[in-house]
Structure 1
Amino acid sequence: MSVACPQESQNALTHFATTRWSLIRQGHIPGEENAANNDLAKLCQIYWRPIFTFIYRRGHSAPDAQDLTQEFFLTIFDGTLLQSADPKLGRFRSLLLRSLKNFLIDTAVKRGRHKRGGQVQFVSLESWMADTAAQLAIPMAALESSPPEALFDVGWAAAVAEEALCRLRIECESKGRRRVYEVLQHYLTAEREEISYENLSRALGVPEQTVRNLLHKFRRRYRALLREEVAKTVESEANVDEEIRYLCATLSAGTGERPWK
């Protein structure tokens, strides 16, 4: 069995050409609207969970929180919410949270609703909990007791980790190595004593030393992908490590899991 790991990108953080900030700006450049909408749809797909969680914890029912989440993102598509977005004002995470709070204040007055469907697709609360990686799921007790702001950040950290995992899986599948990903993904953040290289060797049909090398490369690539995802949400490379430390501590406190080592 031939087993290999995706090669680490050589220019992972050499520039910030495509950040979440640049996606917002692109929507206001003539001729770039369609590309911007596609990128914003991807943004919504990644980050709708922390938005939904925040709204849900603010006292809205799951169906209402779902509707409000969609309406919030539609305001982004319409270009009315983030037109004045400025990376100098802080992290993209903080911008969205501020914008979401303002949106909920306005909505409390208007009480308008968009029908479900349209440009953004959502799933039920039950599907969300089922689809979320088990190690990144927010415990129901936390959903019912934690402050909305804390849940937003936990959901945000989980979304970043999930997107990195998704990219790692796609890279492996493109090289015909889905089985390697399926076996090793559970050990990306495991402590040494939690890993049985003998069992992994049998599962993959390769020598133990090969497993050690594979896991080392997988972890390195996963960390690189995490850095790339975080880099898209901060104003400069200098802020990446600080944001990573914050999100790591947030997710660990919220779910008991380490998103990365």
Structure 2
Amino acid sequence: MIRTADSRGADIALDRLCASYRRALYHYARASGLGPHDAEDAVQDFFAHVLGQDALKTLQKEKGRLRAWMIRSFNNRLTNRREHRTAQKRGGGVEHVQWEFDSVEMEFTRHYRVGQEASLACDQALALPLWEKTLLRLDSDDKVQKRPEIYQALRPYILHGWPKNTPPQSEVAQQLGLSVNALRVRMVNLTAKARSIFSEIAHEDLDPLIPDEDVEHLWRLLR
């Protein structure tokens, strides 16, 4: 458990913050040109600094801009590391959290596009787990599961719509006993529900005060 001078609730909040941002900041470091080992060390160093120096106190002035604060602070930390390569690593002796980054490196390799800006690589890594959790909530939603066959037919197309290389909507609608218009209405409603859940999870995992435009930015990255 990560410890601060605050309550256990604050400890849990910091745990969630670290879990939500560590893979995204790793993507940022890799997209900035660091190799896997240096990127891993940079993330460990950053969170040691955040926890050891209680740097999150500065967030009181951010008014819900945690995502921007994290990226800016991490970038500043990377700059400082480059300028002080001989300084003691990982927070000057502060005990740091040990994480395994093998799966995060595989994820980065799978999703990174050559030339992609580091901030976009970071945001994409923030958005992907939000979408994964969104699907899990949809999968367990009682209202959605009233007609599970309809949900399963529409689930692959929530983000990107109906592609041309799939069975036509008329064929799928007939199989489900729906009109084409009814199928399209179901698709619109399901997408809206997914977008709402996505926003809820962003507020839970990234920042309780995350601005709507930031959530929309992350949603558009997926689409």
Please say whether Structure 1 and Structure 2 have the same fold, judged by a TM-score greater than 0.5: yes
The residue type paired with residue 118 of structure 2 is L
CA distance in 2, matches of 1:122, 1:181: 35
The 8 Å contact of residues 29 and 42 in structure 2, kept in 1 or not, is answered as yes
The residue type paired with residue 121 of structure 1 is W
CA distance in 2, matches of 1:138, 1:118: 27
CA distance in 2, matches of 1:215, 1:160: 21
CA distance in 2, matches of 1:35, 1:234: 15
Tell me the percent identity: 17
Give the match for residue 243 of structure 1.
214
Q: CA deviation at 1:200?
A: 5.0
Matched, 1:127 2:106: yes
Q: CA deviation at 1:219?
A: 0.7
CA distance in 1, matches of 2:13, 2:149: 30
Q: Which of 215, 227, 232 is 2:187 aligned to?
A: 215
Residue 55 of structure 2 aligns to a residue in which SS? coil
Q: CA deviation at 1:92?
A: 1.5
Q: CA deviation at 1:198?
A: 5.3
Deviations 1:176-231 (A, max 9, x none): 958876653321123356463356569xx733457545433321111112333455
Give the match for residue 16 of structure 2.
42
Give the match for residue 159 of structure 1.
126
Give the match for residue 206 of structure 1.
176
In the alignment, structure 1 segments of 5+ residues that lack a partner are: 1-26, 252-256
Q: Which has the larger radius of gyration?
A: 2
The 8 Å contact of residues 72 and 103 in structure 1, kept in 2 or not, is answered as yes
Q: CA deviation at 1:163?
A: 0.9
CA distance in 2, matches of 1:182, 1:66: 38
Deviations 1:156-192 (A, max 9, x none): 2452353144133134236595887665332112335
Residue 191 of structure 1 aligns to a residue in which SS? coil
Give the match for residue 161 of structure 2.
191
The 8 Å contact of residues 161 and 226 in structure 1, kept in 2 or not, is answered as no
Give the match for residue 95 of structure 1.
69
Give the match for residue 10 of structure 1.
none
CA distance in 2, matches of 1:99, 1:62: 20
Q: CA deviation at 1:52?
A: 0.8
Q: Which of 77, 83, 89 is 1:112 aligned to?
A: 89
Q: 1:236 to 1:129 in 2, by over 3 A?
A: closer
Q: Which of 128, 134, 138 is 2:112 aligned to?
A: 138
In the alignment, structure 2 segments of 5+ residues that lack a partner are: none
The 8 Å contact of residues 48 and 96 in structure 2, kept in 1 or not, is answered as no
Give the match for residue 73 of structure 1.
47
CA distance in 2, matches of 1:106, 1:92: 21
Relative contact order: is structure 1 or structure 2 higher (C-alpha 8 Å, sep ≥ 6)?
1
Give the match for residue 61 of structure 1.
35
Residue 58 of structure 2 aligns to a residue in which SS? coil
